[in-house]
Structure 1
Amino acid sequence: MTLIYNLMLIFNGKWHRLKAVFWYRFLFKKIGKYCVIKNPLKITPESIILGDRVSIGNNARIEGVQHYEAEKFDPKIILNDGVTIQQNLHLTCAESIEIGENTAIAANVTITDIHHPYDDIHLPIEQQNITTKPVYIGEECKIYNNVVIMQGTKIGKHCTIGANSVVSGYFDDYCVIVGAPAKIVKKYNSETEIWEKI
């Protein structure tokens, strides 16, 4: 039984890699080597650039929004080399979202560069024009389960974001970020070479 299970795992991994090579490479704006994309819910490949060795888990929604209400957009989603994403990512982009090399994203994470204004009380919120601000996540970060990353957020290199955090704003390199709203609770001191509480 274990042998059959292991063979199924090997076949399943190879199948998703073959799909990337023989199917997705004709659809994506650019796709690197050794990428794996497992059973996405929704994906708009014409808006996406993948580096090498990018792995996207099951049920991902990675959507470039090209028009909303009366406005048109030119979304750019960039997942650099070595980005790994677990199941149920919800990423919506109308302007720009970039994730740096070797960043790991856990399950059920939301990332968006879109805000739905609620200024006009005579219109439902979903029917009002959206606003956008680019999102950038630096290299070598670890983003834990159920994190929400909002429009205009910039996260530096080698940051850890704790589970269930709601992240908005600018965060330096080498930080531990937690909470809703998220705040820096630790930062690496390059002089003492110690992670220090803030």
Structure 2
Amino acid sequence: MIKNPFLLYRKIIRLLNLIFLRPFFKKYGKGTRIEQAYYFTPQYIQLGKKVLICKNARIEGVNVYEGIKFNPEIIIEDNVSIQQNLHLTCANKIIIKKHVAIAANVTITDINHPYKDIHIPIEKQPIEYDLVEIGEECKIYNNAVILPGVILGKHCVVAANSVVRKGIYPDYSVIAGIPGKIVSQYVDNKWTKK
């Protein structure tokens, strides 16, 4: 008799990941687990060791858009935890460094759909892109949006429902709001409100 069917289910999913998914990724680290992905382009994705990606994640490298070619690179380093419903799209480069925790319903993109020509539908206009980098040990809370050109330093927090726009955010910062601003930062051995 099976004592805990949930544990058996997780072991089966882990085994299926290893057998069927691993060969298609640029890199698929030991102990990595993907649970019920929604949509992936594994040929552009590098996963470090012990990465957890929960259900309904969309992690997509965009290699062609409106006839323009791109070379997307998605790097997720060791011990990253991603909860359900991540929406990540990349035409250039997105790096999520070690020990990052991403809560549910987060959007991360290095792509912008500009609205320049009123005679062309927005989705048909050429996209713009910029590097996104999330530093080690960051925590991204529920429903946050990380946009092109964002570079988060080490151990940053992005508050729930925040929209973080292009900029460099230093280590040990707490970012909140729409648009996201630094509301607190650890400097000289103390927390300082901004």
| Fold shared, TM-score > 0.5 on shorter chain | yes
Q: Which of 182, 195, 198 is residue 191 of structure 2 equivalent to?
A: 195
Could you list the per-position Cα deviations for residues 72-99 of structure 1 after superposition, in whole angstroms to 9, with x for gaps in the alignment? 0110000000000000000000100000
Cα shift at 1:9: 1.7
The alignment yields a C-alpha RMSD, in angstroms, of 1.2
Which amino acid in the other structure matches residue 50 of structure 2? R
Q: Which whole-Å CA distance do the structure 2 matches of 1:175 and 1:16 have between them?
A: 37
1:125 aligns with 2:122: yes
Partner Cα separation in structure 1 for residue 33 and residue 12 of structure 2? 9
Q: Which runs of 5+ in 1 are unaligned?
A: none
Give the Cα–Cα distance (whole angstroms) in 1 for the partners of residues 180 and 68 of structure 2.
31
Once residues 51 and 115 of structure 1 are traced to their aligned partners in structure 2, the CA distance between those partners, rounded to angstroms, is 27
Greater Cα shift, 16-25 or 150-159: 16-25
Structure 1 outlier segments of 4+, above 2 Å: none
Matched, 1:42 2:39: yes
Shift of 1:137: 0.3
Between the aligned residues of both structures, percent identity stands at 54
Counterpart residue number, 1:75: 72
Which one is further off, 75-84 or 14-23? 14-23
One of 131, 135, 153 as aligned partner of 1:134: 131
Distance in 2 separating the partners of 1:133 and 1:197? 29
Alignment match, 1:65: 62
SS for the counterpart of 1:13 is helix
How far apart in 2 are the matches of 1:89 and 1:98? 15
Instruction: Output the CA distance in 1 between the equivalents of 2:171 and 2:111.
Output: 24
SS of residue in 1 equivalent to 2:154? coil
Query: Deviation of residue 20 (structure 1)?
Result: 2.5
Normalising by structure 2, report the TM-score: 0.96
Q: In the alignment, is residue 106 of structure 1 matched against residue 103 of structure 2?
A: yes
Matches within 5 A, 1:158-173: 158-168=155-165, 169-173=167-171
Count, aligned residues: 193
User: Which whole-Å deviations, capped at 9, do the CAs of 1:7-66 have from their partners, x for residues lacking one?
Assistant: 222112212221222121110011100000011110000000000000000000000001
Q: For 2:13 and 2:98, how far apart are their aligned partners in 1? A: 21
**Structure 1 equivalent of residue 7 of structure 2:** 10
2:140 aligned with 1:143: yes
Q: Distance in 1 between matches of 2:178 and 2:23?
A: 40
1:88 maps to which residue?
Answer: 85
- In the superposition, the TM-score normalised over structure 1's length comes to 0.95
